Amino acid sequence: MARIIGGLGTTHVPSIGNAIAKGLQKDPYWRPFFSGFDYVHGWLAREKPDVAVVFYNDHGLNFFLDKLPTFAIGAAKEYRNEDEGWGLPVSKSAAGIPELSWHIIEKLVGDEFDVTMCQDMLVDHAVTIPMALMWPGPAAWPVKIVPIAINTVQHPLPSLARCLRLGRSVGRAIESYDADLKVLIVGTGGLSHQLDGERAGFINREFDTLCLDKLTVDPTALTQYSIVDFVEQAGAQGVEFLNWMAMRGALTGRTQELHRNYHIPISNTAAATVVLENRPLPQRKAA
Residues forming the site for Fe ion (CB under 5 A): 189
Beta carbon of residue 23, minimum distance to Fe ion (angstroms, whole number): 24
Site for ligand DHB in 32-61 (CB under 6 A): 59
Number of DSSP helices (H) and strands (E) in the chain, helices first: 9, 10
In angstroms, give the least distance from the CB of 47 to ligand DHB: 26
DSSP sequence for 180-202: --EEEEEEE--SSB--SSTTTT-
Interacting span for ligand DHB (CB under 6 A) from 9-17, 34-42, 154-162, 241-249: 9-17
Min. distance of Cβ 80 from ligand DHB in angstroms? 19
Strand-pair partners of 272: 262
Using CB under 6 A as the binding rule, whether residue 263 contacts ligand DHB is answered as: no
Nearer to ligand DHB, 154 or 220 (CB): 154
* Of residues 256 and 267, the one with the C-beta less far from ligand DHB: 267
From the list 35-43, 99-107, 162-170, 188-196, the region that binds ligand DHB by CB under 6 A is 188-196
Q: Are 146 and 65 in contact (CB under 8 A)?
A: no
Spatial strand order in the sheet of 144-150: 116-118, 71-74, 144-150, 51-56, 182-188, 3-10, 269-279, 254-266
Question: Which element (helix H / strand E) includes 128?
Answer: helix 125-134
Write down the least CB distance from residue 200 to Fe ion, Å: 14
- Give catalytic status of residue 103 as yes or no: no
81 is a site residue for ligand DHB (CB under 6 A): no
Question: Under a CB-based contact definition with an 8 Å cutoff, are residues 5 and 47 in contact?
Answer: yes
247 DSSP assignment: H
Residue 273 interface partner, choices ligand DHB, Fe ion, none, CB cut-off 5-8 Å depending on type: none
DSSP code, position 81: -
Q: Which stretch binds ligand DHB (CB under 6 A): 8-16, 22-30, 106-114, 244-252?
A: 8-16
The radius of gyration computed from the CA coordinates of the chain, to the nearest angstrom, equals 17
Q: Is 193 a catalytic residue?
A: yes
Catalytic member of 12, 59, 103, 193? 193
d(CA 132, CA 91): 9
Closer CB to ligand DHB, residue 94 or residue 127? Answer: 127
User: Between the CA of residue 165 and those of 3, 116, 246, what are the distances in Å?
Assistant: 19, 17, 7
Distance from C-alpha of 25 to C-alpha of 247, rounded to nearest angstrom: 27
The helix or strand, by DSSP H or E, that contains position 227, with its residue range, turns out to be: helix 227-234
14 binds ligand DHB (CB under 6 A): yes
Catalytic pick among 103, 125, 259, 263: 125
Residues that bind ligand DHB (CB under 6 A): 12-15, 59, 189, 193, 195, 237, 240, 267-269
Report the catalytic residues: 125, 193
